Amino acid sequence: MKLGFLLSIPGLVMRGGRNTAGNVEPVSKERKHLNWLVFPIQLVILHNFIIFQMLTCSKSYRDIPLSHRQPHHPGRCSRLHGHSWSVTLTFASSDLDENGFVVDFGELHYLADWIDEHLDHGTIVCLSDPRIEEIRGLARSGLLKITEIERASCEGIAEYLFGIFDPLVRKHTEGRAWIHKIHLEEDSRNSATFEPDSTK
């Protein structure tokens, strides 16, 4: 809804109608009463329109060594293989902090720590992998560091990371900021973006 349209509504309510001769008729008592009912609602709409503007910023984490495989793929992607991944997080807020930031990049150590602990030199495993017990055995022996998720594709990993990072950002900013979208690159040619459906 555009701001100009919202601002035009009070005038529409206040104006009288035109009679068959084309002359403007005065505003009736009923329409005056209607105006007193509608105008406060318009103020609330305008207030929300202004408050819920969204400001964004982005932070990238690059060269993350991470392996995965697509166990149901008919081609070579079914083999365990690795990439040097990059993830770009887009943060959003309708209210900047005292420094004018959406988020303070210097305070995002908790995200870097999670990446180091769970992704760096790790392996993403699909929960439906028919050889998952073998892979778990390798993890128990210390040969692999695994993270088990529903889909091990680039798209699935991006969605999984959103589910991890968004609650962390909301917690550390006390709900002021959130993750707007995640862009994940498995190499210089292939990437995926996850952005939640704001209508749901």
Whether residue 96 is found in the same domain as residue 146 = yes
Per-residue model confidence (pLDDT) at position 40: 57
Number of structural domains the chain divides into: 2
Whether residue 38 is found in the same domain as residue 129 = no
Per-residue model confidence (pLDDT) at position 121: 97
Whether residue 171 is found in the same domain as residue 131 = yes
> What torsion do the CA atoms of 184, 188, 189, 190 make, to the nearest 10 degrees?
-20
Whether residue 67 is found in the same domain as residue 34 = no
Whether residue 111 is found in the same domain as residue 77 = yes
Whether residue 32 is found in the same domain as residue 109 = no
Domain assignment present for 142: yes
Whether residue 47 is found in the same domain as residue 88 = no
Q: pLDDT means per 10 residues in the chain (200 residues)?
A: 44 46 56 53 52 86 97 95 97 94 96 97 97 97 97 97 98 96 96 83
Whether residue 28 is found in the same domain as residue 68 = no
Domain assignment present for 199: no
Whether residue 74 is found in the same domain as residue 163 = yes
Domain assignment present for 26: yes
Whether residue 47 is found in the same domain as residue 61 = no
The boundaries of the domain holding residue 106 are 55-194
Report in angstroms the alpha-carbon separations of 153 from 22, 68, 197.
67, 8, 20
In the chain, how long is the greatest CA-to-CA distance? 92
Whether residue 31 is found in the same domain as residue 85 = no
107 sits in which H/E element: none
Q: Which two tokens stand for residue 157?
A: 């990993």
DSSP-H helix ranges across 3-100: 3-14, 29-51
Domain assignment present for 16: yes
Q: Over the range 72-95, which residues count as b (16 or more CB within 10 Å of their CB) and which as e?
A: eeeeeeeeeeeeebbbbbbbbbee
Domain boundary among 11, 30, 51: 51
Q: Find the CATH number of the domain harbouring 154.
A: 3.30.479.10
Per-residue model confidence (pLDDT) at position 197: 84
Domain assignment present for 200: no
Whether residue 71 is found in the same domain as residue 133 = yes
In DSSP notation, 151-175 reads --SHHHHHHHHHHHHHHHHHHHTTT
